[in-house]
Amino acid sequence: MPQNRNSNIELLRIVCMLMVVVLHFNNNGANTGIVNMPELLTVRLTWGFLVESFCIVAVNCFVLISGYFAIKLKWRSMLKFYLQCFFIGLFSYLAYVGICGGFSWQVLAELLLAFTHNGWWFVVSYVGLMLLSPLLNKAVDSMTCKQLLHSVLLFSLVILYLGWYQKVEPTNSGCSLISFVWIYLIGRYIGKHMTLDYIRSYRWIWLGGYLLSCLSLFGLIMFRYHFSIEMHYPLDYNNPLVVIAAIMLLLFFLSWSFQSKAINWMASSVFAAYLLQESCYLGHEWLYPQMREMFAYIPDGWRILMLLGVSVAFVLLSIMIDKLLSMLSYGILNVYDRCCVSKDCQVI
């Protein structure tokens, strides 16, 4: 049972956010439309698919981490998350207006609905998971190891068949709340019933499993192109290979233990990279068009290096922006702490 969050998991958060940024820039700049599986395979797309295969695990890893530690739903944590989304959304919109013009008071007012009016599908699904977490945690705590394992396996069959294979709409390619609940329960099983000694004893097995799963995913995509065989949604988050790779990566990072103030400091703000990049104003209306124009002039041989370099720079810039904006959040949270009877009071 995990007791605290060491820097190994915070480092995983940073790595996963870098993967998310790489994925989005890969899809919207270096290899536009790659997730739609273009008909003609080129050398540039081959490298793009390789990047996708190794980075597609990031979203599932974030949810697995939440499940491993179990979300502790509190009013203060909800307020803190809301404030981060609100100030990043406000900054994104004002930056977009400063660059492109077109200010609207209506849009500014809508930004108060920070969870739902910024184009962040992950935030919508994750807030739903946060609100359900007390019920999920109670259910998990009432189960034996075998009962939880059987429940997760049955849930997996439902998600993989209806969600990945049949593409039933509510599962939404692994982007939905129900898919997040599934991944969260897998994380809860790991957190409750896999000891750190056991996890550490298989450290390199986990790394090998991650690499093998990602390479298998890439191989299946290549197989589809070279043999013209239809394949069920290889780059969906609920693809079994993607889920297995995410589990392996989490277990590999869990097998280490170290402390780093610098990593913890960066990880506390790294989510801002997603919020900035996927903003429906700054991201989709300005940033991605700029990326497409920039990558149009970069030779194929340099695209991967440029993609990684731009992504690292963007993550670092996002962390600094969030640190500055968090000063506003701290002021509001301090007022809340003084007014609330107990700053640790839980929602449920």
178-201 pLDDT per residue, tens: 999 999 999 999 999 999 999 999
> Does a structural domain hold residue 348?
no
Angle between helix 7-25 and 58-69 (nearest 10): 150
Q: What is the pLDDT of residue 2?
A: 47
> Does a structural domain hold residue 347?
no
Q: What is the pLDDT of residue 246?
A: 98
Residues 257-280 have a mean pLDDT of: 95
CA 15 to chain centre: 10
Residues whose CB is less than 8 angstroms from the CB of residue 114 and which lie 6 or more positions away in sequence, other chains included: 82, 85, 86, 89
Residues 153-168 have a mean pLDDT of: 82
Query: Around Cβ 159, how many Cβ atoms within 10 Å?
Result: 23
SS3 65: helix
Q: d(Cα 286, Cα 277) in Å, to the nearest integer?
A: 10
Residue 24 to residues 124, 240, 251, 287: CA-CA distances in angstroms?
A: 18, 21, 25, 11
Q: What is the pLDDT of residue 146?
A: 95
281, two tokens: 């104003």
> Does a structural domain hold residue 245?
yes
* Range with the poorest average pLDDT among 37-46, 193-202, 279-288, 300-309: 37-46
Residues whose CB is less than 8 angstroms from the CB of residue 5 and which lie 6 or more positions away in sequence, other chains included: 69
Residue 35 to residues 26, 128, 130, 185, 298: CA-CA distances in angstroms?
A: 10, 26, 28, 27, 21
Residue 283 to residues 74, 108, 275, 290: CA-CA distances in angstroms?
A: 30, 17, 9, 10
Q: What percent of the chain has pLDDT over 90?
A: 68
Q: d(Cα 274, Cα 272) in Å, to the nearest integer?
A: 5
127 pLDDT band, cuts 50/70/90, is: very high
Its pTM stands at: 0.92
> Does a structural domain hold residue 81?
yes
Type of residue found at 167 = K
> Does a structural domain hold residue 260?
yes
Domain that holds residue 272: 7-334
For the chain, the straight-line distance linking the first and the last C-alpha, in angstroms and rounded, comes to 22
C-alpha atoms less than 13 angstroms from C-alpha of 51 in its C-beta half-sphere = 27
- The answer to whether 285 and 29 are in contact (CB under 8 A) is no
> Does a structural domain hold residue 25?
yes
Nearest to 81 by CA among 268, 297, 251: 268
Q: d(Cα 173, Cα 159) in Å, to the nearest integer?
A: 10
> Does a structural domain hold residue 62?
yes
Type of residue found at 328 = L
Nearest to 95 by CA among 231, 252, 275: 275
> Does a structural domain hold residue 32?
yes
Q: What is the pLDDT of residue 56?
A: 95
Name the phi and psi angles at 74, rounded to 5. -135, 155
Q: What is the pLDDT of residue 1?
A: 47
Answer left, alpha or beta for residue 76, where phi above 0 means left and psi between -120 and 50 means alpha. alpha
pLDDT reading at 163 higher than 90: no
Q: d(Cα 156, Cα 297) in Å, to the nearest integer?
A: 44
Domain count, the chain: 1
- The answer to whether 347 and 74 are in contact (CB under 8 A) is yes
347 pLDDT band, cuts 50/70/90, is: low
* Range with the poorest average pLDDT among 22-26, 166-170, 222-226, 272-276: 166-170
Residues whose CB is less than 8 angstroms from the CB of residue 274 and which lie 6 or more positions away in sequence, other chains included: 17, 20, 21, 120, 122
308 pLDDT band, cuts 50/70/90, is: very high
C-alpha atoms less than 13 angstroms from C-alpha of 206 in its C-beta half-sphere = 17
- The answer to whether 92 and 118 are in contact (CB under 8 A) is yes
